[in-house]
Amino acid sequence: MSIRFGTDGWRAKPEDDFTVENVKLCTQAVCNYLKSREIADNGLMVGYDTRLDSAAFAEAVAEVAAGNSIPVILCDRPAPTPVVSYNLVRRDCAAGVVITASHNPYDWNGFKFKPGYGGSASEEIISELETCLNAVLAEQRYLSIPVSNAEKIGLVERVNPELLYLNHVAGLVDLRSIRNAGLNIIVDSMYGAGSGYIRQLVEGGTTHVTEIRNEIDPTFPGMKQPEPIDQNLEPLKEKIWESNGDVGLATDGDADRLGLVDEDGNYISTLHTFALICQHLLENLGMQGTLVRSITMTCMINKLGDFHKVPVIDTPVGFKHLGPVMIEEDAIAAGEESGGYGFRGHIPERDGILSALMILDMMVKTDKNPSDLVLDLIDLVGPHHYNRIDLTFQPEERKQIETRLAEARPTEIGDMIVKDIDTRDGYRYVLENGYWGLIRFSGTEPLLRLYAESKSLDSVNAILAECRNIVGV
């Protein structure tokens, strides 16, 4: 058995390690951590997604917390991770747990821990949690009482988390203008927890929302995993063509990521999407401040930063790195390649629903469709193309791959000079004009990820091919 916190909590397959027993052990570690910090009395917020048995796992978390005399606020329905995170902040909870495997395949589940500030746990917090977890695993002991008993004595309260969140995000964009813009919006919830949120927020005027894949289905049929990436969004594209939609918006399994499709059914990359959002914040909303991006996010952000004279900070992958910088810098936005974007005035964490509202707000304020917005962006920062390849490998191959990476010192990749090699999170080869290639191990799945951003698709493919030669997989 192996329980470890990766880039964003612990994930595993129920058929392997993700069992009720292990979830309870993990929760006991969280309880011990909260007690050590003397914040346990503030309570624990618990949410869950639409996966098979997620509600039961969430009740298991509540039972252990209650067994430790820690008050629990338990969501009474599946909820997006950002909704749970905002609720725990607004309700002054010590921390939160969300049972979700986010974008992973249907046969995975996960245990996301959220500190009191609502973001991903920092590396320091994760280290403390793992110390507590190792001690619990050694003892194989936890405290627990049935959730029905805990409800009777007031230790567990079930709540609908929607209203607090909806009222808050409604104040972060010009919702009235969006509702009265006459837009035809297609929303793909990918059978996940984000179903209904965008429709509730923007309908009520001349704007119309059509939802697809908005029913609960834990098997996420028709896709390998509920991740809003190009190959998973064919139904959304078809609905746009069929309905003459103005924009397509997709959220992943726990709705902390956004996928964007234009009015012609073309997928807009996560890099261009975040660049559009940053451009909107700077130019249309007149915001000033730091932009934060992961090392897998586009160098377009640096070019926007130069143009608008605002600082840009890059971090290793994951909001456990991005979030603390957001807080420290009071950054206006942070983003990573996976499609997760966070915003000032909200939680220091990804939010696919608020990201979708920002795109709609930009369309309304500029009176432009998504494809024209992308063309305007390209006019400003130049052409940028991107791709990512995920490679599987055998566990026994990892050390050999790591050795090859450490020994490789390429001076040229994809006909461009290697200006620097950043090893903070994998091996990032910084090329001319800010373009780059990156090789890193996934923090949540047994995958080796290869990334590239360059001036053309041919150049991107050349970078990826040379990166693949380096790792030899």
Give per-residue pLDDT as tens, 217-229: 999 999 999 999 9
Q: Are 143 and 175 in a shared domain?
A: no
Q: Are 319 and 230 in a shared domain?
A: yes
Please give the torsion angle defined by the CA atoms of residues 441, 444, 449 and 452, in that order, rounded to the nearest 10 degrees. -110
- 131-156 in b/e form (b: 16+ CB < 10 A) is ebbeebbeeeebbbbebeebbeeebb
Question: Which of 235-239, 355-359, 434-438 has the lowest average pLDDT?
Answer: 434-438
Record the tokens describing residue 267, joined without a space: 């997928």
Please state, in angstroms and as integers, the Cα–Cα distance from residue 89 to each residue in 44, 45, 194, 345, 378, following that order: 11, 9, 19, 12, 38
CA 363/CA 432 separation, integer angstroms: 33
Q: Are 110 and 231 in a shared domain?
A: no
* CA dihedral for 7, 11, 12, 13, sign (positive or negative): negative
Quick check: 308 pLDDT over 60? yes
Residue 389 lies in a domain: yes
Dihedrals phi, psi of 60, to nearest 5 degrees: -65, -40
Q: Which of 106, 128, 160 is the last residue of a domain?
A: 160
Q: What residues does 72 pair with on adjacent strands? A: 44, 156
pLDDT in tens, 362-407: 999 999 999 999 999 999 999 999 999 999 998 888 999 999 999 9
Minimal CA–CA distance to 423: which of 405, 448, 443, 450? 405
Instruction: Give the whole-number percent of the chain exceeding pLDDT 70.
Output: 99
How many Cβ atoms are within 10 Å of 448's Cβ, its own excluded? Answer: 23
Quick check: 285 pLDDT over 70? yes
Position of tokens 């609908």? 160
Average pLDDT of the chain? Answer: 95
Residue 201 lies in a domain: yes
Whether 95 contacts 105, CB under 8 Å: no
Residue 287 lies in a domain: yes
Length of the chain: 473
Q: Are 118 and 236 in a shared domain?
A: no
Residue 316 lies in a domain: yes
> 67 pLDDT band (50/70/90 cuts)?
very high
* CA dihedral for 6, 443, 427, 399, sign (positive or negative): positive
Q: Which of 160, 193, 227 is the last residue of a domain?
A: 160
Q: How many domains does the chain have?
A: 3
337 burial type by CB count under 10 A (0-12 exposed, 13-18 middle, 19+ buried): buried
Average pLDDT over residues 289-315: 96
238 burial type by CB count under 10 A (0-12 exposed, 13-18 middle, 19+ buried): middle
Q: Are 67 and 121 in a shared domain?
A: yes
For the chain, the straight-line distance linking the first and the last C-alpha, in angstroms and rounded, comes to 28
Looking at per-residue pLDDT, the higher value among 266 and 9 belongs to: 266
Q: Are 307 and 178 in a shared domain?
A: yes
> 7 pLDDT band (50/70/90 cuts)?
low
Q: Are 246 and 153 in a shared domain?
A: no
How many Cβ atoms are within 10 Å of 158's Cβ, its own excluded? Answer: 14
Position of tokens 């003459």? 244
Quick check: 253 pLDDT over 60? yes
Whether 135 contacts 32, CB under 8 Å: yes
Half-sphere exposure of 1 (CA within 13 A, CB side): 16
pLDDT at 287: 97
Quick check: 28 pLDDT over 60? yes
Record the tokens describing residue 456, joined without a space: 């053309």
Average pLDDT over residues 254-258: 97
- Give the strand pairing for 95-99 and 109-115: antiparallel
User: What CATH number is associated with residue 353?
Assistant: 3.40.120.10
Q: Which of 376, 393, 416 is the last residue of a domain?
A: 376
Q: Are 175 and 124 in a shared domain?
A: no
Residue 166 lies in a domain: no
pLDDT at 123: 85
User: What CATH number is associated with residue 459?
Assistant: 3.30.310.50
Whether 337 contacts 436, CB under 8 Å: no
Residue 292 lies in a domain: yes
Q: Are 306 and 177 in a shared domain?
A: yes
Instruction: Give the whole-number percent of the chain exceeding pLDDT 90.
Output: 90
Residue 165 lies in a domain: no
Q: Are 122 and 185 in a shared domain?
A: no
Write out the residue range of the structural domain in which residue 390 sits. Answer: 385-471
pLDDT at 456: 95
Q: Are 226 and 280 in a shared domain?
A: yes
CA 437/CA 419 separation, integer angstroms: 12
Q: Are 319 and 413 in a shared domain?
A: no
> 445 pLDDT band (50/70/90 cuts)?
confident
Residue 135 lies in a domain: yes
pLDDT at 9: 79
pLDDT in tens, 82-121: 999 999 999 999 999 999 999 999 999 999 999 999 999 9
Quick check: 1 pLDDT over 60? no
Helix (H, G, I), strand (E, B) or coil at 99: strand
